[in-house]
Every structure is written in structure tokens, then in C-alpha cells.
């Protein structure tokens, strides 16, 4: 469905999404180049974003498309050697572009279970090769060196995974409605609605930064976890300024405020509250135990082999790079839908992320210095994988440097009014 007339939803909503991407998500500047990564099925949105980008004065818009059958060809017919190779030259070029102020837009929406029938060991090898090859480009993104944004498109395979009881057209229509609503583009003035929402997120991050907690204590069924926060950490959320001086909103939608945990100060047990889809495999029933920041015990009721392979990616993949707070009452949570898509599922619940930290989640004097980030407790890894641990029974206490305990969450909600 790459033509407007074939879409089972109002194409005008894509016009609104494209404007929001360029004007709010990216805040694309006159003369700035843009790289778009997307699936072929998302072309109706890609075309509109390209048009909006050029209307905003973009220099060059470059689109890199992926296709499910092309992706599967490697797994079906590739040689053993091919599983450990990835096109690093593409990512090196992207890294150079991002370093020269090119903006980045990613459109998700592909089939989350595309690789579910493939050999998990091969999937892990291909994924690791891609992680190594893409690291130079992804470091520019995780270090927030340029303005970037990710949004979703209601792909047909994704829609059927979320709504298997519906016909394909009805599933796409339903998923589109949810995406547009969660992204706050279904109102009369999306830009105004988004600005109001992001002001609320800003107030939350300011409150957390005022306390500058030393650690957070999580309590819920199956969870008793103490997460030490990195020295000099800073809470972020919503729109913020990239290192190139452009204020952008990396995720649409977003309901989270987040920061960097200390890679060596996490202890206790934690149980996931939602499944994780990683490289086409559903991983459910995750339970882990941390000691001194490292996962020393891990299990899952489904997809355990893939989860354990993920943990063994590199020296930083058993440690945390992000902690994020999302109230159980968030619109995405209240929808009751499991999206099989991290962009949406992470905005339905408090979550933590294995792997690479975000350098922007430190005070200004630290964020530009990789050695200072490491010394402050920031984690380094080829991966950054979010998984959800929030629920309506979750309590979180903030603990200050003098030992004062401050309620942060009670029963899955903020414990205080802002």
C-alpha cells in the first residue's frame, strides 16, 4: 500500500504527521541536509516528509529504504561468511554526515516478527555485525550531536501482529488511529498540543533535577531493585537541544523522562511487565538479578536463548544505560495494547535499557567529555535495548545524598503534583 488511494485511512493525517516531523520533531533548519531511513511500505509518509523538508529549506534529502524480502534473502541464501558482514561504508558515510550537521529521521513500522522463523544464532550474528558496523553512526545519535527524530508508520504486518483478529485493512486503520492519537496529531493544532505536553514533561524533569537523587528504589511484584544514578546525571524528556544547537524532539510519541544510571551501582531483582521483541523474537517473562551493576542471573519464559545472547553482546550489555519514568496512566498504557514496538511500548511503562547510555543525560561539563562520562558511571555498549518494568503496583522512592527518602511513584503514578 504505497499509493494514497490504497490506504485504509485518511491520507491527510500523513500530511499532519510530516509537518510535525519537520517542524517539531526535527525542527529542520534552512540549508540543513536530512537522512531518512524507512521501510518501503512507509513511502506515503516518506514522500510527504521529503516535501515538507524541502519546503523548510532543506539542502539534500537522502532516503535509505529497507524491504522485508530483501532482508530475509540473506538468512535464506547467504553464506556462513555473509552472516558476519555488514555494510560499514554506509554507516561511516552516515556518521560523517551527522558530524557535518545532517539531521536524521527514522520511520519504524516493519514486521516485528520478521525473523521469528530464523535460526536464533544466525540472527544474533547478523545483528552483532550490524551493531559493530553501525556504531560510528549510532554514536553520533546517542551523543546527541545532531537533531534527530523517530516516528512510526502503520505497516500492514505490524498491524496484523497487534490486531490479529481484524482484517488487514481494518488492522491498519485501527493502528493508524492509535498512532495518530498517541502522537497527538489528531487535534486541530498538533504543534500547539505537542508544545503543551512537552512543557509538562519539562516540569517533571526540572523537579527531578532539583533533587538530584543518588539512587532510586523500585518495589513491585517480582521487583526489589536499587538503581544508583550516575554522578552528575541530568534528567531529560521531550524536546531538548542537540549539540548542534537545534532544539528537537527525538521520539514521537513520548511520555517519558529519563536519565543515566550508574553502570556499577545497580543491585537487586527486577521482573519485566511486558514482552520484549528483539530481532524478530518475542522475549517474555524476563527476570534478572543485578550485583554491582551487572546482570548475574537471567531467565525468560519465552525467547530465553535470544535474551541470553543479547546479554553477551559485549562487556557493557549486562549493565544499564538508561532509566525512564512513565506513569501507568499514560495514554499508550491506558490503550491496553501491546504494540511489539519499543517506541510505543516504552511509553506505556517505566523502563530500563541495557547497554549504551545517552551522553546528553549528564550535566553540561560532563556531557561533551567521553572520559568524564565513563568516570561518572556512564555505560558503553554496542546495544541499547529498552524493556518495560512498570505497572500499577510499582512504587519508586528517590534517595538523596544525605539519605532522605522522597516518594517519586506510588501505585504506578507520580507521587506528587507539579
Residues in the chain: 418
Helix (H) or strand (E) holding 172, with range, is helix 168-182
Looking at residue 316, what DSSP letter applies? T
Quote the pLDDT of residue 368.
85
Per-residue pLDDT at 5: 81
Query: What does the block give as the cell for 49?
Result: 516528509
Q: What is the pLDDT of residues 259-307, one digit of tens each?
A: 999 999 999 999 999 999 998 889 999 999 999 999 999 999 999 999 9
Query: For residues 54 and 61, is the Cβ–Cβ distance under 8 A?
Result: yes
The residue among 31 and 342 whose pLDDT is bigger is 31
pLDDT of res. 370? 92
pLDDT digits (tens, 9 = 90+) for 5-59: 889 999 999 999 999 999 999 999 999 999 999 999 999 999 999 999 999 999 9
Dist CA 144 CA 86 (whole Å): 24
Work out the burial of residue 370: count CB atoms within 10 Å of its CB; fewer than 13 is exposed, 13-18 middle, 19 or more buried: middle
- Counting residues of the chain whose pLDDT is more than 90, the rounded percentage is 96
Rounded (to 5) percent helix, strand, coil in the chain: 35, 25, 35
**Alpha-helical segments (H) within 273-369:** 304-311, 331-334, 342-345, 364-367
Q: What percent of the chain has pLDDT over 70?
A: 100
Q: Round to whole Å and give the CA distance between 201 and 184.
A: 14
* 101-117: average pLDDT: 95
Residues 6+ apart with CB under 8 A from 68: 39, 110, 111, 114, 157
Predicted model pTM: 0.94
Residue 4: its pLDDT value, please?
A: 84
β-bridge pairing 34-39 and 103-108: parallel
* Cβ 82 vs Cβ 74: under 8 Å: yes
Question: Each residue of 123-147: pLDDT tens digit?
Answer: 999 999 999 999 999 999 999 999 9
The phi-psi region of residue 336 (left if phi > 0; otherwise alpha if psi is between -120 and 50; otherwise beta) is: left
Helix and strand numbers, DSSP H then E, in the chain: 13, 20
Judge contact between 124 and 309, C-beta under 8 A: yes
Tell me, what's the pLDDT at 1?
62
Confidence grade of residue 77 (pLDDT, cut at 50, 70, 90): very high
Q: What band does 107 get if pLDDT is binned at 50, 70 and 90? A: very high
pLDDT at position 3, please? 80
The pLDDT assigned to 337 comes to 95
For residue 315, pLDDT over 90 is answered with yes
Mean model confidence pLDDT for the chain: 96
Q: What is the pLDDT of residues 220-257, one digit of tens each?
A: 999 999 999 999 999 999 999 999 999 999 999 999 99
Element holding 271 (H helix, E strand)? strand 261-271
Q: Which residues pair with 227 in a beta bridge?
A: 216, 266
- Residue closest to 21 by CA, chosen among 185, 215, 171: 185
Sheet of strand 61-66, all strands in order from the earlier edge strand to the far edge:
61-66, 34-39, 103-108, 148-152
Start-end of H helices in 21-119: 43-55, 68-77, 88-99
For each of the domains in the chain, give its residue range(s) and CATH number, in order of start: 4-182 (3.40.1830.10), 211-240+255-414 (no CATH)
- What is the tens place of the pLDDT at every residue in 297-309? 999 999 999 999 9
Amino acid at each position: 500500500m504505497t499509493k494514497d488511494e490504497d490506504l485504509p485511512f485518511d491520507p491527510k493525517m500523513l500530511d499532519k504527521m510530516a509537518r510535525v516531523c519537520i517542524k517539531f520533531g526535527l525542527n529542520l533548519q534552512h540549508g540543513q541536509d536530512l537522512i531518512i531511513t524507512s521501510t518501503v511500505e512507509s513511502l506515503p509518509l516518506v514522500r510527504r516528509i521529503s516535501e515538507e523538508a524541502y519546503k523548510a529549506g532543506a539542502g539534500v534529502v537522502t532516503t535509505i529504504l529497507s524491504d522485508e524480502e530483501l532482508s530475509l534473502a540473506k538468512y535464506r541464501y547467504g553464506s556462513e561468511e555473509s552472516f558476519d558482514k555488514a555494510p560499514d561504508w554506509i554507516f561511516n558515510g552516515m556518521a560523517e554526515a551527522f558530524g557535518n550537521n545532517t539531521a536524521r529521521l527514522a520511520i519504524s513500522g516493519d514486521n516485528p516478527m520478521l525473523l521469528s522463523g530464523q535460526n536464533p544464532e544466525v540472527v544474533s550474528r547478523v545483528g552483532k555485525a550490524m551493531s559493530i558496523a553501525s556504531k560510528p553512526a549510532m554514536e553520533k545519535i546517542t551523543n546527541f550531536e545532531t537533531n534527530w527524530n523517530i516516528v512510526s508508520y502503520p505497516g500492514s504486518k505490524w498491524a496484523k501482529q497487534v490486531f490479529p483478529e481484524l482484517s488487514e485493512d481494518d488492522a491498519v486503520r485501527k493502528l493508524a488511529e492509535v498512532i495518530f492519537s498517541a502522537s497527538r496529531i489528531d487535534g486541530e493544532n498538533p504543534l500547539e498540543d505537542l508544545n503543551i505536553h512537552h512543557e509538562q514533561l519539562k516540569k517533571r524533569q526540572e523537579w527531578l533535577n532539583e533533587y538530584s537523587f543518588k539512587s532510586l528504589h523500585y518495589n513491585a511484584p517480582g521487583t526489589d531493585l536499587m538503581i544508583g544514578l550516575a554522578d552528575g546525571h541530568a534528567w531529560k524528556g521531550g524536546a531538548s537541544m542537540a549539540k548542534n544547537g537545534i532544539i528537537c524532539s527525538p521520539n514521537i510519541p513520548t511520555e517519558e523522562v529519563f536519565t543515566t544510571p550508574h553502570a556499577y551501582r545497580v543491585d537487586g531483582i527486577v521482573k519485566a511487565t511486558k514482552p520484549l521483541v528483539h530481532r524478530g523474537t518475542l522475549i517474555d517473562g524476563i527476570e534478572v538479578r543485578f550485583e554491582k551493576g551487572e546482570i548475574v542471573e537471567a531467565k525468560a519464559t519465552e525467547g530465553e536463548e535470544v535474551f541470553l545472547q543479547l546479554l553477551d553482546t559485549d562487556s557493557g550489555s549486562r549493565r544499564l544505560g538508561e532509566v525512564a519514568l512513565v506513569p501507568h496512566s499514560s495514554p499508550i498504557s491506558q490503550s491496553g495494547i501491546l504494540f511489539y514496538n519499543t517506541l510505543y511500548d516504552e511509553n506505556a511503562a517505566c523502563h530500563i535499557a541495557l547497554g549504551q547510555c545517552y551522553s546528553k543525560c549528564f550535566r553540561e561539563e560532563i556531557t561533551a567529555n567521553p572520559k568524564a562520562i565513563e568516570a561518572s558511571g556512564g555505560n558503553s555498549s554496542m546495544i541499547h535495548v529498552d524493556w518495560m518494568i512498570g505497572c500499577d503496583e510499582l512504587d519508586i522512592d528517590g534517595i538523596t545524598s544525605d539519605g532522605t527518602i522522597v516518594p517519586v511513584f506510588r501505585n504506578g503514578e507520580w507521587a506528587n503534583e507539579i
